């Protein structure tokens, strides 16, 4: 049990680790490991107030995975900070 809690904390301790963990569990382990992560300046400026309320920032993968079903590019993600942990979710292209 302690090991599980330690791994959970480790995988969600930074925005980049949370994002890599999310992409990995979405089924794209290669992209999770090899892609670079940069802050998404466009979304962070446009949605500044909304993201501030959510305690979140947008990030972009430099080598995003391609969704198999729709051939969509899974590039942009929102990472929320809750307490001292970070959690990622897909933001979309728009």
Mean of pLDDT values over 48-56: 96
* Confidence (pLDDT) at 94: 58
pTM metric for this prediction: 0.91
β-partners of residue 79 are 57, 88
Residue 92, pLDDT score: 81
Average pLDDT of the segment spanning 22-35: 95
**Among 35, 93, 91, which residue's Cα sits nearest to residue 64?**
35
Instruction: Evaluate if residue 93 carries a pLDDT over 80.
Output: no
Q: How far, in Å, CA of 13 to CA of 46, rounded? A: 26
- What's the mean pLDDT in 17-29? 96
**pLDDT at residue 65 in the model:** 93
* pLDDT beyond 70 at 41: yes
């Amino acid at each position: 049990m302690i090991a599980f809690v330690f791994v959970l904390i480790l995988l969600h301790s930074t925005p980049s680790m949370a994002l890599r963990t999310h992409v990995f569990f979405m089924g794209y382990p290669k992209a999770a490991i090899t892609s670079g992560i940069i802050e998404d300046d466009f979304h962070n400026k446009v949605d500044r107030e909304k993201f501030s309320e959510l305690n979140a920032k947008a990030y972009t993968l430099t080598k995003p995975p391609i969704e198999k079903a729709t051939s969509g590019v899974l590039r942009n993600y929102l990472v929320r900070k809750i307490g001292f942990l970070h959690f990622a979710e897909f933001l979309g292209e728009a």
